[in-house]
Amino acid sequence: MLLGSVILLASFAYLGVLFAIAYFGDKRADAGRSIIANPVIYALSLAVYATSWTFYGSIGRAAVNGVGFLPIYLGPTLMCALWWLVLRKMIRISKVHRITSIADFIAARYGKSALLGGLVTVIAVVGIIPYIALQLKAVSASFEILLQYPQVVMPPKGRAVALLQDTALYIALLLAAFTVLFGTRHLEATERHEGMVAAIAFESIVKLLAFLAAGVFVTFVVYDGFGDLFGRAAQQARTAPLMKLGDAASTSWTSLVLLSMLAILFLPRQFQVAVVENVNESHVAKAIWLFPAYMLAINVFVLPITLAGLMHFPDGRIDADTFLLTLPMAHGQEALALFVFIGGLSAATGMVIVETIALSTMICNDLVMPVLLRWRALALARRADLTGLLLGIRRGAIVGLMMLGYAYYRAAGEAYALVSIGLVSFAAVAQFAPAMLGGMYWKQGTRSGALVGLSLGFLVWGYTLLLPSFAKSGWLPISLIEVGPWGIALLKPLALFGLSGLDDISHALFWSMLGNVGGYVAVSMLGRQGLGERAQAQLFVDVFTRSGQDARPWRGSASVQEVVALITRFLGSTRADAALAAYATGRGWRSVAEIQPDAELVRFSENLLAGAIGASSARVMVASVVEEEPLGMDEVLNILDEASQVLAYSHRLEQKSRELEAATSELRAANARLQELDRMKDDFISTVTHELRTPLTSIRAMSETLQARPRMDEARRMQFISIIVKESERLTRLINQMLDLAKLESGGADWHSAEVDLKELIEDAASSTAALLREHAIALTLEVPPSVPVLRSDRDRLLQVLLNLISNAAKFCPRESGRITVALQVHADRFQVDVRDNGIGIAPADQELIFEKFRQVGDTLTGKPQGTGLGLPISRQIIEHLGGRLWVASAPGQGATFSFTLPLGARPVPEITGAAGHATTHP
């Protein structure tokens, strides 16, 4: 015997556990250690989808349609596959824009339209209230059935219960209290309720375990497993057809799958748990498979229990809706029956709690606040703290919704209206789909389009689903359905415009979606978006590619004090201060006092308030304290035009500045080159001076000595005089070579082109240096072919080079064992002359240095090198002028080979004649 007190005690104990969990969750959230930041909890909270309509009702549907109960669960499973795309985008948009409800979402997307938000709220409330009523009915009915234990009887129908004795009323009040307590504890900018979510997740576990327990009991205890159960059912006329897929079911399956796909996304409670309460986007990834797994688990035993119920209660006295409860009762399992009751209670309470929270947010932010702000804007603006008012509105809305649900339940009673109300609700929220999905993926969708589409869809829904359900309940004349209003058959609600052959839901879905999508798309295509709308459209559609910035151009002035006061009024001073401090820090300011009144502040405060009072109301409120100059489209175009002109101008400026920079750096480089040249000139002059002064020093010192000493020793006198002569020659040579080099370098030298026989020229050079070489006992070898092609070049200059190279070689040859070889090779395209010596060689580091002016490389062993230090630079100048190359190859101690080439082809010598036309000076 189960006493009412036991059931009540169990129920209260269960609710007490829920309170405890919710309280713990909230405390942990306040402490910053969330217990719901976990994908499993997230997936379990999503299972609030499974209400008492699932818990008891799917068995009822299965008793009539067999596997026809499945589409309601297949739809969400299918939609899960799209969650990563769709749900994640909804979450991202909502986090960025602090969206707290589906009404807010649609309103914000279409230019923060209060009208749209209100319309969505009305549709949601009208569509959902009966659904809430259904939950209350399920709880009170299961309570009354359980109360009859061990008898298994249905509660009497049409019995009028006194209001104060109605369990449903107390259930409604209790749930209202719970929801108020954990749904509106305080005003959050994010509107998240961690304790509530934790409780909902717990409820999902309880209802699943209860269902599974009953299923296991029926399948494995009453029967001998699935095989036994299905085998027996297949032999009975009543149950056999339920195990087959009906042919006629296909359309209704399609529409039911579609409907439930949309419901899982757009039911206010699903939006609440899936989007608003979402802690972390990545949780979606795990929920994509966890949630379908849950749905599968809770549906596994639906068919077995249905078949068992139909076989156990063959007379139809017991509603199939109650099999889950009545089968354990009939088998004397009172504890299991109580557990099932608790499971049903959790399914119902979970739905009611989340749904009322979601709806209360919508009612407050999108219905009541806009109206209050418009009618009593001044009065509201004067109130110091509006947090109390906001919470009051929400609490009132929760209690009001619960009472409305209860009233509907009382009024509808056992009428038809309750039975299929789940699907009717689904069809109502499906109307949000075009505006939601279009808003997320189609930038062109306009506010007018969304308004027209939603209105048309809602009207058609009311006409084709709500109206017939009222008529079938006897509230309206049944003739409305049977012959159509005013006898017009085309307007028959269940066969609109002659469309028949569909089930009611498919029929309603077809017409409402036709009107909704058609109206939305057509009006959007024809109309034009306002400025705010266009900005929001871009922000929503491109949420993954844009930052969270409001793209709406803003111009105006704001008073920081007023904005701060406004935020404080709605959020309370603690939360407002914290938010403002975070904002100031984020902008790089040290304190709230430094906050500047700019567009960013306006955006921030709008966004912050949107969390509390919805996007459209927030916009109105902030606008009331900010002197905003309204921007028309033309003005924005002007701004954009100006901006693009400024951009072009700045582009030109940048260009100019780049050119200037380039010119400056060129100048700087040129200047550096000039300075370098200047320095080189100074160095050159200094070097030349040094080179000229050195022989002069000896000449002067010796001359003065001789002059002052007329009776000097004869030998000494002769030595001095010969030094004077040598140094004078050196001086002359130096001056001549310097002039020569200067002419070569400046291009002022005279060139005489003539036919030159190189073999003959080398022999001439050899004879010219014979005396010098003999003096040093150096052997000269010539390696010259018997005859060579005639070359057209400057003979004197070439001789100068050869003499230079041979005398240069002689200087570094060892005395007595010196050997110099002059070799001539004739290649296909050039002559090559090598002058080899067996002297001290040249270190690699010095091999280029020796071609510089006055750079002599010597060795103290042989003393300071003789010569001017200009021979090699001059030779190189000459050879290069004649189209060849002069270089040295050597290793220290290995001797050196100076080589030059001359082009073999008939290359005329460039004739450059100095202006003065003097004869070339060379030694």
Partner 1 sequence: MIKTVLIADDEPNIVISLEFLLQEAGYEVLVARDGQEALEVLNAQVPDLILLDVMLPRVSGFDVCQRIRSNPAWSAMRVLMLSAKGREAEVAKGLELGADAYITKPFAIKDLMAEVARQLGDPPASP
Element holding 791 (H helix, E strand): strand 791-793
Residue closer to partner 1 (CB basis): 383 or 679: 679
Residue closer to partner 1 (CB basis): 1 or 861: 861
Q: In the complex, what is the shortest distance from the CB of residue 711 to partner 1, in angstroms, rounded to a whole number?
A: 13
Q: In the complex, what is the shortest distance from the CB of residue 727 to partner 1, in angstroms, rounded to a whole number?
A: 6
Q: Are strands 819-826 and 779-783 parallel, antiparallel or unpaired?
A: parallel
696 binds partner 1 (CB under 8 A): yes
479 binds partner 1 (CB under 8 A): no
Q: Determine how many CB atoms are found less than 10 A away from the CB of residue 685.
A: 10
Type of residue found at 451: L
Among 238, 528, 656, 700, binds partner 1 (CB under 8 A): 700
716 binds partner 1 (CB under 8 A): yes
Q: In the complex, what is the shortest distance from the CB of residue 883 to partner 1, in angstroms, rounded to a whole number?
A: 37
Type of residue found at 5: S
Of 221-229, 356-364, 596-604, 719-727: span binding partner 1 (CB under 8 A):
719-727
* 432-441 helix and 504-526 helix, angle to the nearest 10 degrees: 40
Residue closer to partner 1 (CB basis): 190 or 705: 705
Among 538, 698, 753, 847, binds partner 1 (CB under 8 A): 698
Q: In the complex, what is the shortest distance from the CB of residue 774 to partner 1, in angstroms, rounded to a whole number?
A: 23
- Contact present, 836 and 823 (Cβ < 8 Å): yes
Residue closer to partner 1 (CB basis): 694 or 753: 694
Of 215-223, 446-454, 690-698, 757-765: span binding partner 1 (CB under 8 A):
690-698
CA–CA gap between residue 916 and residue 186 (Å, rounded): 105
Type of residue found at 14: Y
Of 299-307, 509-517, 683-691, 749-757: span binding partner 1 (CB under 8 A):
683-691
Residue closer to partner 1 (CB basis): 811 or 836: 811
Q: In the complex, what is the shortest distance from the CB of residue 912 to partner 1, in angstroms, rounded to a whole number?
A: 34
- Contact present, 319 and 142 (Cβ < 8 Å): no
CA–CA gap between residue 697 and residue 646 (Å, rounded): 73
686 binds partner 1 (CB under 8 A): yes
Q: In the complex, what is the shortest distance from the CB of residue 735 to partner 1, in angstroms, rounded to a whole number?
A: 16
Residue 140 makes CB contacts below 8 A (sequence gap 6+) with 166, 167, 168, 171
74 binds partner 1 (CB under 8 A): no
Q: How far is CA 787 from the centre of its chain?
A: 82
Q: How far is CA 385 from the centre of its chain?
A: 39
Residue closer to partner 1 (CB basis): 238 or 693: 693
Q: In the complex, what is the shortest distance from the CB of residue 884 to partner 1, in angstroms, rounded to a whole number?
A: 33
Per-residue contact flags (x/-) with partner 1 for residues 863 to 902, judged by CB under 8 A: xx--------------------------------------
- Contact present, 104 and 120 (Cβ < 8 Å): no
919 binds partner 1 (CB under 8 A): no
Per-residue contact flags (x/-) with partner 1 for residues 406 to 435, judged by CB under 8 A: ------------------------------
Of 410-418, 694-702, 842-850, 875-883: span binding partner 1 (CB under 8 A):
694-702
Per-residue contact flags (x/-) with partner 1 for residues 431 to 470, judged by CB under 8 A: ----------------------------------------
Among 250, 282, 671, 697, binds partner 1 (CB under 8 A): 697
Q: In the complex, what is the shortest distance from the CB of residue 654 to partner 1, in angstroms, rounded to a whole number?
A: 46
CA–CA gap between residue 172 and residue 400 (Å, rounded): 10
Length of the chain: 923
CA–CA gap between residue 769 and residue 756 (Å, rounded): 20
How many Cα atoms within 13 Å fall on the side-chain side of residue 161?
18
693 binds partner 1 (CB under 8 A): yes
Type of residue found at 479: S
Residue closer to partner 1 (CB basis): 465 or 840: 840
Among 282, 596, 671, 705, binds partner 1 (CB under 8 A): 705
> Which tokens go with 595?
């906050």
701 binds partner 1 (CB under 8 A): yes
Type of residue found at 891: A
Closest CA to 902 of 836, 840, 850, 824: 824
Of 130-138, 325-333, 396-404, 693-701: span binding partner 1 (CB under 8 A):
693-701
Residue closer to partner 1 (CB basis): 533 or 691: 691
DSSP string, 796-835: HHHHHHHHHHHHHHHHHSPTTT-EEEEEEEE-SSEEEEEE
Q: Classify burial at 415, counting beta carbons within 10 Å of its beta carbon; exposed 0-12, middle 13-18, buried 19 or more.
A: middle
Residue closer to partner 1 (CB basis): 656 or 693: 693
704 binds partner 1 (CB under 8 A): yes
702 binds partner 1 (CB under 8 A): yes
CA–CA gap between residue 460 and residue 491 (Å, rounded): 11
Q: In the complex, what is the shortest distance from the CB of residue 796 to partner 1, in angstroms, rounded to a whole number?
A: 32
Q: In the complex, what is the shortest distance from the CB of residue 892 to partner 1, in angstroms, rounded to a whole number?
A: 16
690 binds partner 1 (CB under 8 A): yes
CA–CA gap between residue 101 and residue 297 (Å, rounded): 30
729 binds partner 1 (CB under 8 A): no
End-to-end CA distance of the chain: 141
CA–CA gap between residue 515 and residue 594 (Å, rounded): 53
657 binds partner 1 (CB under 8 A): no
Q: In the complex, what is the shortest distance from the CB of residue 846 to partner 1, in angstroms, rounded to a whole number?
A: 13
Residue pointed to by tokens 């001044």: 378
Among 173, 723, 799, 826, binds partner 1 (CB under 8 A): 723
DSSP state of 859: B
Residue closer to partner 1 (CB basis): 200 or 731: 731
Q: In the complex, what is the shortest distance from the CB of residue 690 to partner 1, in angstroms, rounded to a whole number?
A: 4
DSSP string, 147-206: HTTTS--PPPTT----GGG-HHHHHHHHHHHHHHHHHSSS--SS---HHHHHHHHHHHHH
Q: How far is CA 690 from the centre of its chain?
A: 73
How many H-runs (helices) and E-runs (strands) does the chain carry? 37, 9
Three-class DSSP category at 190: coil
Of 269-277, 539-547, 561-569, 859-867: span binding partner 1 (CB under 8 A):
859-867
Residue 871 makes CB contacts below 8 A (sequence gap 6+) with 737, 804, 807, 808
CA–CA gap between residue 530 and residue 536 (Å, rounded): 10
Total binding residues toward partner 1, as defined by CB under 8 A = 27
Residue closer to partner 1 (CB basis): 151 or 860: 860
Q: In the complex, what is the shortest distance from the CB of residue 847 to partner 1, in angstroms, rounded to a whole number?
A: 19
Cross-strand partners of 756: 791
Q: In the complex, what is the shortest distance from the CB of residue 670 to partner 1, in angstroms, rounded to a whole number?
A: 26
Residue pointed to by tokens 């939950």: 135
Sites for partner 1 among residues 799-858 (CB under 8 A)? 858
Of 314-322, 411-419, 454-462, 686-694: span binding partner 1 (CB under 8 A):
686-694
Q: Classify burial at 634, counting beta carbons within 10 Å of its beta carbon; exposed 0-12, middle 13-18, buried 19 or more.
A: exposed
CA–CA gap between residue 618 and residue 386 (Å, rounded): 13
860 binds partner 1 (CB under 8 A): yes
CA–CA gap between residue 407 and residue 413 (Å, rounded): 10
Among 31, 379, 708, 916, binds partner 1 (CB under 8 A): 708
Of 236-244, 295-303, 311-319, 702-710: span binding partner 1 (CB under 8 A):
702-710
DSSP string, 364-395: IIIIIHHHHHHHSHHHHHH-S--HHHHHHHHH
Q: Where do contacts with partner 1 occur on this chain (CB under 8 A)?
A: 686, 689-691, 693-702, 704-705, 708, 716, 719-720, 723, 726-727, 858, 860, 863-864
